[in-house]
């Protein structure tokens, strides 16, 4: 059900005049958005169209295609060609690996200071990345989480899962993390934290239970 939020080969490279490359004088951090997908071409289109409308001045989109057998590769080629101002890289796994390994590959390929995750059935609001970055005003913040808003269910199956993606706890999520899924944004390196805080952690950072790339 669509939700609004808050090794292999590459078959398309980022356009040389991408949005990120034009923002060389921007003081905003580069954000890498990682989207794993497999045989979800219809919902993926809505996802990437929403990402193309982000207002954050400096971001890249990394699509990791986990061996789709539908027309996902061709769609992504066309989409990248039709959106030359969007910094988008489309990677394809050589063998089916699953969502989490695909996310980890996206982390390895990411160039941003921050990594944001989005599922391919999600539709991000235009200020999603701006609000996520706003949450990292302190070096003591390691990750930002929040609320996923489900679209109204259209059938009995979607109704079964309605509300299952909400963050535990009382009260509404803060607006700065209002539209984000699970561990949707994390600092790319443990070195982003003060030394005293790193010592207090006693462990490397993880994303969804997997070690966060620290290159």
Share of the chain above pLDDT 90, in %: 45
Q: From its phi and psi, is residue 37 left (phi > 0), alpha (psi between -120 and 50) or beta?
A: beta
Domain total in the chain? 1
Instruction: Flag whether 117 is in a domain.
Output: yes
According to DSSP, the residues that pair with 10 across neighbouring strands are 91
pLDDT, average across residues 9-27: 39
Contact predicate 113/27, CB 8 Å? no
Instruction: Flag whether 213 is in a domain.
Output: no
d(CA 93, CA 108): 13
Two tokens at 208?
């969804």
Mean pLDDT, the chain, as a whole number? 73
* Alpha carbon 175 to its chain's center: 18
Residue 162, pLDDT score: 67
Contact predicate 211/39, CB 8 Å? no
d(CA 126, CA 45): 15
**Of the candidates 107, 84, 94, the residue with the CA atom closest to the CA atom of residue 33:** 107
Instruction: Flag whether 212 is in a domain.
Output: no
180-197 pLDDT, tens digit per residue, is 333 345 555 544 444 444
Q: Is 20 helix (H, G, I), strand (E, B) or coil?
A: coil
φ, ψ for residue 99 (rounded to 5)?
Answer: -70, -45
User: 59 lies in which domain range?
Assistant: 3-206
Instruction: Flag whether 215 is in a domain.
Output: no
User: What CATH number does residue 66 fall under?
Assistant: 3.90.550.10
Instruction: Flag whether 211 is in a domain.
Output: no
Q: Is 86 helix (H, G, I), strand (E, B) or coil?
A: coil
Burial class (CB in 10 A: 0-12, 13-18, 19+), 79: buried
Two tokens at 159?
């109704």
Two tokens at 176?
């700065």
Instruction: Flag whether 179 is in a domain.
Output: yes
Instruction: Flag whether 16 is in a domain.
Output: yes
Instruction: Flag whether 214 is in a domain.
Output: no
142-179 pLDDT, tens digit per residue, is 777 766 776 777 777 777 766 555 544 555 444 433 33
């Amino acid at each position: 059900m669509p939700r609004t939020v808050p090794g292999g080969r590459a078959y398309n490279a980022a356009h040389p005049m991408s949005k990120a490359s034009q923002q060389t004088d921007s003081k905003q951090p580069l954000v890498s958005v990682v989207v794993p997908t497999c045989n979800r071409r219809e919902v993926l289109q809505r996802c990437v169209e929403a990402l193309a409308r982000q207002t954050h001045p400096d971001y890249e989109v990394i699509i990791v295609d986990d061996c789709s057998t539908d027309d996902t590769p061709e769609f992504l080629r066309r989409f990248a060609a039709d959106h030359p101002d969007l910094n988008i890289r489309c990677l394809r796994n050589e063998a089916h690996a699953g969502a989490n390994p695909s996310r980890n590959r996206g982390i390895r390929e990411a160039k941003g200071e921050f990594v944001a995750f989005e599922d391919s059935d999600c539709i991000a609001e235009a200020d999603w990345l701006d609000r996520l970055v706003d949450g990292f005003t302190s070096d003591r913040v390691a990750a930002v989480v929040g609320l996923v808003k489900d679209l109204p269910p259209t059938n009995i199956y979607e109704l079964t899962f309605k509300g299952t993606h909400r963050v535990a706890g009382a009260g509404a999520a803060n607006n700065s993390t209002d539209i984000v899924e699970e561990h949707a944004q994390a600092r790319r390196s443990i070195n982003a934290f003060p030394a005293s805080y790193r010592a207090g952690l006693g462990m490397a950072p993880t994303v969804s239970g997997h070690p966060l790339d620290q290159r």
